[in-house]
Structure 1
Amino acid sequence: MAPEPNKTQPTDADVDAFLAAVDHPVRRRDALRLVELMTRVTGEQPRLWGPSIVGFGTYHYAYSSGRQGDAIAAGFSPRKAATTVYLSDGVEAHADLLAGLGPHTSSVSCVYIKDLDKVDLGVLEEAVRRSYATVTAEGFGDVG
């Protein structure tokens, strides 16, 4: 079963201005690299969701209870302690790949990376590619 979608909503805020204002120089550098990577992988342009999530594309989810909405199909957030990369279909679906990523921690749908220079970007790109393909496939968001 897919993890609970992030309930953050898209905004019209300027992504470039948001990224330029990131204080931590490594997080700012990594954010710019992730914009390039995720734009290439998804074919989508970045959009700010809430105050701090850069999202690429959306998927629609619907529960049997009637609750439904839209969530980011791929994205990241440059946080103080680490950059959070969102794998919307859940980290567990990518355990095989993430074993070779390099230094990171994770939770249900988040991968926390302190420095992109210390991880295998090919592994990260493949995980994002797989996750995006899964959540944008027809029928994924019907989570029952």
Structure 2
Amino acid sequence: ERPIPSMLNYQLHIENGSMYNTPPVFAIYVSMLTLRWIKAKGGVAVVEKENEAKAKALYQEIDRNPLFTGVCAVEDRSIMNVCFVMEKPEQEKAFLKLAEERDLVGLKGHRSAGGFRASIYNAMPITSIHALVDVMQEFAEKNK
């Protein structure tokens, strides 16, 4: 029988007449809210389908638009963090400026990797992905 860590061993809590150890209450609370939200949306399968649609829309634009290039092999692409670069790195600051003017923030990639990273986690609505795609298309139109 595998030992259960004391903070997760509720029998130990009962034997001691209270919590044996203080559980991570905030993390538990946030987990509860998140699970309720997922359930209200229709469950994990619905959220998964939405996430796949968001990633597909963004990757289609990256693959279609000659100014942008994905940094991962197609089979290794993330549906949560979409990383991409520009064909002309000298255009990155101008693209980032346009995105920020359109209220799209947090796109700058990691300092060691460069480029861009669009974090499209569960709560990110598909309308935000469409807004990013629109900015990518607008930038391409202005920089032919």
Do both proteins adopt the same fold according to a TM-score greater than 0.5, normalized to the shorter chain?
no
Return the TM-score normalized by structure 1: 0.38
In terms of fraction of residues, the more helix-rich structure is 2
**Larger gyration radius, structure 1 or structure 2:** 2
Return the TM-score normalized by structure 2: 0.38
